[in-house]
Structure 1
Amino acid sequence: MSQRSTNIDKTLSKLRTSVAEGAFYEAQQMFKTVYARYRNKKAREDSYKLAEEGAILQLREGQLTCGIELAMLLVESYIEDSAAATQESLDRLLSVHSAFPEPETSAVPVCGRVDNAADGTGTASGWPVKECVKFLMSGVKWIKRCGTPEQSQLLHRKAADYIWKCLGWQGFGWATTHYIRGDSMESFAAALISCMAEGRADEEDLFISRACLQILAVATPGRAAEQLESCEVLLGAISVFRGGLPLPETPLMHFTTFLLKALKANSRELEQMLREKYAPALERDPMLETLIARVEQVYLGIEPPSRGGMGELIGDLMRGLFSAEL
């Protein structure tokens, strides 16, 4: 074992003891002091390990403010260092994420004390869900510079699952902005089915069609085919979760399934025919027209009006959908 490894292990042992004794504030100051020392010495790996271990220790002890601070130090150091997105580096982020508590466990401690404010539960304000998602999206920012699309999809799915697990149907819209970028359409389908069960039976097709169009709307030219495939996987998973029942037999559902075929065939003519034929069904929700216009732009090269009207609606929609990247 190297001298460096011995030194950091001793440091972590002392810090674990402080946390175990309940000296959370003191431990936090020690973490930050030693972390700064490692950064000044360019001991990057040691600084990563310290931030990871510190964040996990504090989060598992319920010290959310302390743990989140150290978690953000870890991912910010990755960005600053342009650290390679190796499996080891990614696993550090995933380990920290797994230490975040479920918000409904009531109290939200600040270093050395406990706050029992209602908005600390995550149910009223989304905290600490908000901070967990911020941490994961900072990870996405790093991965976009140094990693792969698959790694980014994984973190989006982790964010979506955490939002859904903690907030349920009340957070479904928020979770959706991450599910549509994630790597598990099965997870998205499970959440979607749960929300459909809370709504009206005659709106099931709206839930499904909106989900498909949102997946397509965030596609980029390089990943358009993959998003199309994701829609097909989502529809298949929905059928499975419905006990093998077919998708709703409605005009809107027919439009959605035929649209996927038109996009696969890169057929403007078929897509325009579908829009005309199913226009009454599309009028059920104004959001559908806006999503379709964006899909046409990405998949078929049909540009929306540059000013006012649909152009502004698409701009507003995409700002909302892409806010998940922030």
Structure 2
Amino acid sequence: MASAAAGIQKSLDRINAQVASGAFYEAQQMYKTVYHRCKARRQTEDSYAVLQAGAVTQLTNQQLTCGVELANMLIEAFVADGVKADAAHLGMVYAILRALPGSLQLADPDSTAELEELSRWVMAALKWAHKQGADDDVHTIHDVFAGWIWRAYGWRQFNKAALHYSRGADAAAYASALAAVSSQAGSSGEEDLFIARAVLQTLACAHARNAQRQLQHAAAVLEACTAVQPSAAQQPLVRFCELLLQALQLRKQQLLALLRGSYAPSLQLDPSFEAYLDTIEQVFFDVRPAGGSGGLLGSLLRGLLEGDEMDDD
């Protein structure tokens, strides 16, 4: 066993020399060769370690396409081998997430190609962890990836970060990012629009199986937002969210209907709000929205399903 480990380390040292010289493609092929060699010898854990090391090294060197390819191979191997989402194997996923470059050297700052590649890998990792019952880690992975999107892309891709923050557990981080985004992309007095959008999206992400959990997370997000932006606490949409959460906690559909009527002028400021509320009623009260799920509602639902590890249960 010791000689096998030494042989693998020698191979990794040679690959690191290729990386240091800038021969990233050649290094990629070598990582895959060593992985398949370990796999053929039934050195299963060593094969995983090679993929993790390769993904981390490539990502650290801004080689996102190469890094994500190896990261994908790792999750595919986990799924094929029925690997448990234990501390050791989840640690490999976290190591890859930590290796994501803090700032991207993009030829086109508005390009989302790299983000879409990474999102597909994160989605695969989330599904594997969820199916293995590691739901606490699922929430953490959402938070870590959301934080990376926010740091790497800023407000321009915050909608994608929000989809993950909404499924995470770090309400304070979400509130801090929201405050920054509202100051950069919003107008004075519009803080409640951003807060309400976050609360409603968090609730609309719920499934019947995790509705209570999402309700608690939405309440935590609202509390954190008002702590960060206390001046927003008296704004109409924040007050609406407070009352909405009470209606859901009390299972009072009639109260929700009254709130939608009373706050209609404020809700009309963002056409997504009514669509989110239709979805919330469907999840929490099993009420089917009138007119099916086409149009704006259908589009929003498709957006919410992006990054949803529970979608194919």
Same topology, TM > 0.5? yes
Does the Cα contact within 8 Å between 2:226 and 2:233 map onto a contact in 1? Answer: no
Deviation at 1:28, TM superposition (A): 2.4
1:203 is matched with: 190
Q: Residues of 1 paired with 2:219 and 2:97: CA distance?
A: 30
Match for residue 302 of structure 1 among 284, 287, 300:
287
Does the Cα contact within 8 Å between 2:24 and 2:58 map onto a contact in 1? Answer: yes
1:60 aligned onto 2:60: yes
For 1:279, give the aligned amino acid: A
1:165 is matched with: 151
After superposition, the Cα gap between the structure-2 partners of 1:278 and 1:59, relative to the gap in structure 1 and judged at 3 Å, is: closer
Match for residue 168 of structure 2 among 147, 168, 182:
182
2:298 is matched with: 315
Does the Cα contact within 8 Å between 2:191 and 2:232 map onto a contact in 1? Answer: no
Trace 1:33-44 onto structure 2 (pairs within 5 A): 33-44=33-44
Does the Cα contact within 8 Å between 2:52 and 2:92 map onto a contact in 1? Answer: yes
After superposition, the Cα gap between the structure-2 partners of 1:65 and 1:251, relative to the gap in structure 1 and judged at 3 Å, is: closer
Does the Cα contact within 8 Å between 1:282 and 1:288 map onto a contact in 2? Answer: yes
SS in 2 for 1:125: coil
Q: Which stretches in structure 1 are left out of the alignment for 5+ residues?
A: 108-117
SS in 2 for 1:124: coil
For 1:78, give the aligned amino acid: F
1:113 is matched with: none
Q: Residues of 2 paired with 1:26 and 1:268: CA distance?
A: 61
Match for residue 143 of structure 1 among 111, 129, 138:
129
Match for residue 126 of structure 1 among 87, 92, 112:
112
Match for residue 267 of structure 1 among 243, 249, 252:
252
Deviation at 1:23, TM superposition (A): 4.1
1:225 aligned onto 2:208: no
Q: Residues of 2 paired with 1:11 and 1:238: CA distance?
A: 50
Q: Residues of 2 paired with 1:22 and 1:208: CA distance?
A: 45
Scaled by the length of structure 1, the TM-score of the pair is 0.86
Number of aligned residue pairs: give it.
308
After superposition, the Cα gap between the structure-2 partners of 1:319 and 1:61, relative to the gap in structure 1 and judged at 3 Å, is: closer
Deviation at 1:201, TM superposition (A): 1.9
Q: Residues of 2 paired with 1:206 and 1:132: CA distance?
A: 29
Q: Residues of 1 paired with 2:69 and 2:270: CA distance?
A: 42
Q: Residues of 1 paired with 2:65 and 2:238: CA distance?
A: 46
| 158-167 vs 18-27, which moves further | 18-27
Trace 1:277-292 onto structure 2 (pairs within 5 A): 277-292=262-277
CA RMSD, aligned part only? Answer: 2.2
Q: Residues of 2 paired with 1:94 and 1:159: CA distance?
A: 10
For 2:35, give the aligned amino acid: Y
1:194 aligned onto 2:180: yes
1:235 aligned onto 2:218: no
Percent identity of paired positions between Structure 1 and Structure 2: 37
For 1:255, give the aligned amino acid: F
Give deviations 1:150-169, integer Å, cap 9, x for gaps.
12111111221111101111
Deviation at 1:319, TM superposition (A): 1.0
Does the Cα contact within 8 Å between 1:126 and 1:167 map onto a contact in 2? Answer: no
Q: Residues of 2 paired with 1:294 and 1:139: CA distance?
A: 26
Deviation at 1:312, TM superposition (A): 5.0
Does the Cα contact within 8 Å between 1:103 and 1:127 map onto a contact in 2? Answer: no
Deviation at 1:315, TM superposition (A): 2.8
For 1:99, give the aligned amino acid: A
Does the Cα contact within 8 Å between 1:132 and 1:159 map onto a contact in 2? Answer: no
Deviation at 1:203, TM superposition (A): 1.8
Q: Which stretches in structure 2 are left out of the alignment for 5+ residues?
A: none
Q: Residues of 1 paired with 2:77 and 2:59: CA distance?
A: 19
| 73-82 vs 156-165, which moves further | 73-82
For 1:151, give the aligned amino acid: D
Q: Residues of 1 paired with 2:262 and 2:213: CA distance?
A: 27
Does the Cα contact within 8 Å between 1:143 and 1:151 map onto a contact in 2? Answer: yes
1:87 is matched with: 87
